Amino acid sequence: MNWKSIFGNKKKSSSDLKSEEFNDEYYDKCVDFYYTNLINSLILFTLTTNELEKLAGPAFNPISELESEIDYAYTPVCFETIFRNGIIHDSFRNELISFKKKTDDIPADIWDWEFIDNNDRWIEIRKEANELLDKLGISSREYNDDYTTVYDNEGNIIKKGKNCS
């Protein structure tokens, strides 16, 4: 006897569950978070070593953040959600993708403090990041930590960041 058919329960496939759980509406709720990540990723690339060092903390390694923030910001679903919602005009898409490619092409041997201020590639990336932010109408070069939650050594929340859901 098939109990599922008697009670009218049809098991949903994993693709049905995914489409219900992770649709545009789901991602749209987090569009401000994705936008903040994208802008923060650009801001990090505008900073000098002295400015990056000021951001350093127990849970914030600026060199790691340079790489991870931009990778997360350009995750296709996050990146596309920003454009689908009109947060950034579609005319900037190719320029932003081109910038991401240039950061991906930074050789591993110059991903280090000593190169950020002096290396021609880093200087060009910094200049381009500043130009992109200007074109996007972003005048501040301050890292936005609105979504960052900070804990002390005992796990207590010192600063509660926003939650996108």
Task: Kindly indicate the confidence band of residue 164, based on its pLDDT and cuts at 50, 70 and 90.
Answer: low
> Has residue 1 got a pLDDT over 80?
no
Contact in structure between 145 and 161 (CB atoms under 8 Å): yes
Across the strands, what pairs with 103? none
Interval 138-162: pLDDT, tens: 999 999 888 776 766 777 776 667 7
Across the strands, what pairs with 150? 159
Interval 12-63: pLDDT, tens: 444 444 544 568 888 899 899 999 999 999 999 999 999 999 988 777 788 8
Domain boundaries, the chain: 23-159
Interval 52-99: pLDDT, tens: 999 887 777 888 889 999 999 999 999 999 999 999 999 999 999 999
